[in-house]
Amino acid sequence: MFELQRTIKKAVSIKGTGLHTGTECTMTFKPAPENYGIRFIRVDLGGAPEIPAVAEYVVDVSRGTTLGIGDAKVYTVEHVLAAVSGLQIDNLIIELDGIEPPIEDGSAKPYVEKLLEAGITTQKEPKDYLIIDETIMYHNEEEQVDIVALPLDGYRLTVMVDYRNPALGSQHTGLFDLEKEFVTEFAPARTFCFLSEVDSLLEAGLIKGGNLDNAVVIVDHDLSEEELKNLTEKLGIGEDVKIGQNGFLNEKSLRFKNEPVRHKLLDLIGDLALIGVPIKAQILAARPGHKANVEFAKKIRKLYQQKKLVKKYQHIKKEGMVFDVNAIMKILPHRYPFLLVDKIIHLEMDKKVVGIKSVTINEPFFQGHFPGQPIMPGVLIIEAMAQTGGLLMLNSYIDPSEKLVYFMGINKAKFRKPVVPGDQLVLEAELINRKRKVVVMKAQAFVDNNLVAEAELTAAIVDRENKKEEQ
């Protein structure tokens, strides 16, 4: 795998019809500076809005992956992103004068050829690889989908599908060397659908640009001549259509014996590009689809954002610790005697955080609460839980040091056991709900695995006053 970032040498364009919208579009690939990433730009809309190719901008996964910001959308981006990711391009401007890239032949090959025509050049900045160092799993019981990422110093993908169809049956494939295999073995794999799906796809307003030149149609049931004629009219196909003897409409020949599963792997590469950075991992996927791919990409992207955040504030890696007190003070505004969390030992972005507060007799509040029988005030236990929760919320922002967390409400507060000098508080905060800048968290405090306090906290995230003054 390449160690330096890459872009293309010159602009190149490709023009054609979108698969699902049936609209005409010219798509232009342009060189981009280092650390720019991959961005789609709708040049046909006022202000030419940019949509970064990252998972949080996915707005739909109906038979394809759609990105959007506000009213600006780009449909069916997965084949384009597969081409970009397969060629290990890090920075690229993708301009479109329409809502959907040209489908061409239904594979990533036409995009790959255009990008190679433009030429690929190495940049000076190193690639920002996300190294998977622990097993990450996704499971959807209802659809029987499993995707797993395993640690590996490289990038490999293995995909298995079972279509329960005589024409296909069970298929599997694997990509083990992106540089050697992608262009010839996977980029040419075309999109496909089953004959039984065509009517429902048309009724859903999809495949308006679909035809037998940009998709392989798999015959999974018999059709009468009349039904076949009606289907041909619905698709707007001017040619005669026949039920093939080989299991494919018009007896289309496959480019590979297992072309459908290779296309599934191609889609997976494109959807995983939405992580936003190249990864080093082995990916194993059973029965993947766009919905599962994007959910998995979101999960890994959160891990990337978390690692980036930790690296920004925790300069020295310490075993069993996410943030030490020095890192915490870079994020939270609290100082002695009101900083009530010593370290963070667990963090799942936008989900859960666990902090530690060691309680000693040197705490200033013990002088008056209570003389001769020191007990930590319950309100300060809640404050300690809230400060821990504040770290969970602020990690959603590019610069948490510019934000403050204000209490809005404390509900269901209960204090079950006293906390005294020598105790170590384990503080847990879990995100329950979030609406814009208002969050609700469930917070608990434990001593020796015993629950000592709990509450439901509502807070608002606001700008610091000094930031407003600077603006």
- Report, as residue numbers or ranges, the catalytic residues: 290, 369
CA distance 159 to 426: 42
Three-state DSSP class for residue 308: helix
Q: CB count, 10 Å around CB of 12?
A: 18
Half-sphere exposure (CA, 13 Å, Cβ side) for 332? 29
Contact 128, 71 (CB under 8 A): no
Q: Which residues pair with 415 in a beta bridge?
A: 453
Contact 20, 208 (CB under 8 A): yes
CA-based angle 273:153:182, to the nearest 5? 50
At 204, phi and psi to the nearest 5?
-80, 0
Q: What is the DSSP letter of 387?
A: H
Contact 90, 6 (CB under 8 A): yes
Residues in Cβ contact with 167 at an 8 Å cutoff, skipping those fewer than 6 apart? 218, 219, 220, 246, 247, 248
Strands (E) in 53-181, as ranges, are 58-60, 66-69, 72-74, 92-96, 120-126, 130-131, 136-140, 145-151, 155-162, 170-175
DSSP of 245-297, one letter per residue?
TTSBGGGPPPSSTTHHHHHHHHHHHHHHGGGSS-EEEEEEEES--HHHHHHHH
Q: Give the CA-trace dihedral at 374, 379, 381, 383, to 10 degrees.
A: -140
